[in-house]
Amino acid sequence: MRKLGCGFTALLILLVGIPIALALSTAARTDATAAPQPATVGKVSGIPQRMLLAYQNAAAQLPTERPKCKGLTWAVLAGIAKIESNHANGRTIADNGDITPHILGPLLDGSGVGGNTTVYPEGNNRAEGPFQFMPATWTGSGRDGNGDGDKDPHNADDAALGAAVYLCGNGRNLTDRAQLKAAIFQYNHSDAYVADVLSWIDRYSQLGNGTIRIGANATGNARAVITSALGEQGTPYSWGGGGPKGPTKGTCCSPSGKSGASITGYDCSGLTTYAYAQVGISLPRTAAAQSQHGKRIPASRGVGALKPGDLVFFAYDPTSDTTIYHVGIYLGDGQMVNAARPGTKVRSEAIWDHGYAGGARLL
Mean pLDDT by 10 residues, the chain (363 residues): 34 29 32 39 73 90 92 93 94 94 79 49 73 92 92 96 95 93 93 90 64 54 88 92 96 92 97 96 96 94 90 92 94 86 89 90 95
Task: For residues 171 and 97, give the distance between their C-alpha atoms in angstroms, rounded to a whole number.
Answer: 27
Residue closest to 5 by CA, chosen among 115, 150, 151: 115
Domains of the chain: 21-213 (1.10.530), 226-361 (3.90.1720.10)
Confidence at residue 42, expressed as pLDDT on a 0 to 100 scale? 54
Residue 57: CB partners within 8 Å, gap ≥ 6? 29, 36, 145, 157, 160, 161
Confidence at residue 24, expressed as pLDDT on a 0 to 100 scale? 34
Say how many Å lie between the first and final Cα of the chain, rounded.
Answer: 48
Confidence at residue 224, expressed as pLDDT on a 0 to 100 scale? 87
Confidence at residue 154, expressed as pLDDT on a 0 to 100 scale? 96
Task: For residues 211 and 221, give the distance between their C-alpha atoms in angstroms, rounded to a whole number.
Answer: 18
* Burial class of residue 124, CB neighbours in 10 A (0-12, 13-18, 19+): exposed
Confidence at residue 244, expressed as pLDDT on a 0 to 100 scale? 96
Confidence at residue 14, expressed as pLDDT on a 0 to 100 scale? 32
